[in-house]
Structure 1
Amino acid sequence: MNTVRTTDEESAGVRKVAVVTGAGSGIGRAVAVELLTAGWSVALAGRRPEPLAETA
């Protein structure tokens, strides 16, 4: 028998969303990558478009 388990957040339709500043390099990039890997929706912000594109 297969069962599907959901958390209260999933059944309520909750999405995890984060805005990460400085996402083009350093700690900001590391945080953005970890959140993306964990399934979050992430808005990347930074001063230089090229590093942001690399992070995305």
Structure 2
Amino acid sequence: MPSIKLSDSDLVFHCAADDTILRAGLRAGVPLPYECNVGCCGTCKIELVSGSVEALWG
């Protein structure tokens, strides 16, 4: 399971392949910003600093 580390903190959480980073982070108690909860409004947009993304939409 991929792990996500926030670059501005020591927080690390895991995200299953069939989940979103937003939902996994919120379940882990990470206060990520969001409004629509589906990726349309852009409030939860993040920057990938390292690693790779295999699919944006499943």
Q: TM-score normalized by structure 1? A: 0.29
Q: Which has the higher contact order (CA 8 A, sep 6+)?
A: 1
Structure with greater Cα Rg: 1
